[in-house]
């Protein structure tokens, strides 16, 4: 079931926006009538003094999946210090490490859920259910015609 539809953002890069629209369309086709899976598109998550936009959030009986489908396009390099850069118009520009960012987002989301457990979850036999072991997965969708190059192996876990 789609709880929040995808809205095209005209101010965003067309390549990343096309990729995001494609992912939203595939999720809509796959889960439109499935009431056990909830899909939300373009979810802003406030973290301290900034807002991180999660392209798609999928809620299912096995946990939560955060999908980032806008960021990874073009030539992206990761050096031996795990610094990320993106080639735009012939220039290498530094970019935030999306893996670390989404690890941080998932930790923050879990902390918010734990903080508000009593309002969100019910009790079973007098015992409060918790979000402590709820799996929160992160998926990055790489755009077609893009490549990620690195000089070292990277632990994505």
> Where do the domains of the chain lie?
2-150
Output the CA–CA distances (angstroms, integers) from residue 54 to 45, 139, 153, in the order listed.
7, 11, 26
pLDDT tens, position by position, 100-146: 999 999 999 999 998 888 888 777 777 777 888 889 999 888 766 66
DSSP state of 155: -
Decide if pLDDT at 155 tops 80: no
Q: What is the average per-residue pLDDT within 7-35?
A: 82
DSSP state of 70: S
This model's pTM is above 0.85: no
DSSP state of 19: H
The phi and psi torsions of 25 (rounded to 5 degrees) equal -65, -45
Class of residue 93 by CB neighbours under 10 A (exposed 0-12, middle 13-18, buried 19+) = exposed
What's the 3-state SS for 127-140? EECCCCCCCEEEEE
Decide if pLDDT at 92 tops 60: yes
Is the sign of the CA dihedral 85, 108, 103, 21 positive or negative? negative
| pLDDT value of residue 103 | 92
Q: How confident is the model at residue 153 (pLDDT cuts 50, 70, 90)?
A: low
């Amino acid at each position: 079931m789609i709880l929040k539809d995808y809205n095209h953002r005209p101010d965003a890069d067309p390549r990343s926006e096309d990729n995001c629209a494609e992912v939203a369309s595939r999720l809509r086709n796959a889960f439109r009538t499935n009431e056990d899976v909830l899909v939300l598109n373009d979810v802003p998550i406030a973290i301290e003094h900034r807002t991180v936009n999660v392209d798609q959030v999928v809620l299912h009986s096995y946990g939560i999946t955060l999908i980032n489908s806008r960021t990874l396009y073009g030539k992206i390099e990761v050096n031996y210090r795990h610094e990320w850069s993106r080639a735009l118009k012939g220039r290498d520009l530094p970019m935030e490490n999306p893996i670390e960012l989404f690890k941080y987002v998932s930790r923050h989301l879990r902390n918010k859920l734990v903080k508000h457990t009593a309002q969100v979850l019910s009790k079973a036999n007098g015992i409060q259910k918790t979000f402590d072991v709820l799996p929160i997965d992160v998926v990055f969708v790489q755009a077609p015609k893009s490549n990620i190059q690195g000089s070292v192996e990277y632990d994505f876990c």
